[in-house]
């Protein structure tokens, strides 16, 4: 998902450069498509989608934290009842959940950075559009092309990539057997002191 936002940021940045002319001052924007307001609104909606996805990531993290805590308690209980094989299995599941939790937290951090950059770029784009409208009121109706087409294709591509990125969540690798044995031993020692 974050690669998608990085690509979107690059496209928005290049569109901004096309709009104002790379290396020129901000004083004379060059062109706007006639559907620019709709395209900017569509990009703003993608920003809102990014914020919604951030909330989904936070919800997933909370669920994984609860799952890890539940597995931790179950492993302790299994050891108290001297069911080592069950405790070993539960610890393995807990470690898998911990890996997914670590990945989800990393995804959230990266997503927040990329989404913030996207918001800044969309805000900059909106400012340039407003400036261009003031500078070229009559050109808005006759000009077509560049920016509007780029924004439209970005919106379509973003929709496809959001869908595909949400479907391709990586499954963590199997926990290390030695790590499971070490966890079991720490639990035995802790529980024997009670």
Within the chain, which residues score under 50 in pLDDT? 20, 22-30, 138-142, 144
3-class state of residue 34 by DSSP: coil
Per-residue pLDDT, 137: 60
Per-residue pLDDT, 133: 75
Per-residue pLDDT, 165: 57
Per-residue pLDDT, 138: 47
How confident is the model over 102-139, as pLDDT tens digits?
999 999 999 999 888 888 888 888 888 888 777 666 44
Per-residue pLDDT, 24: 43
Per-residue pLDDT, 193: 81
Distance CA 12, CA 41 (A): 13
Chain centre distance of CA 10:
16
Percentage of the residues of the chain whose pLDDT score is greater than 70: 63
Verdict on whether the full-model pTM lies above 0.85: no
Q: Which helix (H) or strand (E) holds 17?
A: helix 2-20
To the nearest 10°, report the CA torsion of 146, 134, 120, 157.
Answer: -30
Per-residue pLDDT, 57: 94
Whether the CB-CB separation of 39 and 140 falls below 8 Å is answered with: no
Per-residue pLDDT, 68: 96
């Amino acid at each position: 998902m974050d690669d998608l936002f990085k690509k979107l940021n690059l496209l928005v940045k290049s569109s901004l450069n096309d709009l104002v002319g790379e290396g020129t001052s901000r004083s004379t924007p060059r062109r706007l498509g006639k559907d620019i307001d709709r395209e900017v609104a569509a990009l703003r909606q993608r920003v809102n989608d990014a914020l919604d996805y951030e909330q989904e990531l936070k919800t997933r993290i909370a669920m994984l934290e609860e799952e890890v805590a539940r597995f931790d308690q179950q492993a302790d209980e299994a050891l108290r009842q001297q069911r080592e094989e069950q405790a070993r299995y539960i610890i393995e599941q807990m470690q898998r959940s911990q890996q997914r939790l670590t990945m989800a937290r990393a995804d959230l951090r990266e997503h927040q950075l990329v989404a913030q950059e996207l918001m800044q770029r969309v805000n900059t784009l909106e400012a340039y559009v407003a400036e261009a409208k003031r500078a070229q009121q009559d050109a808005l109706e006759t000009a077509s092309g560049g920016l509007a087409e780029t924004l439209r294709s970005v919106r379509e591509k973003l929709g496809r990539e959001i869908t595909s990125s949400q479907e391709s969540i990586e499954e963590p690798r199997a926990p290390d057997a030695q790590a499971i044995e070490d966890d079991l031993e720490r639990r035995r020692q802790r529980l024997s002191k009670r």
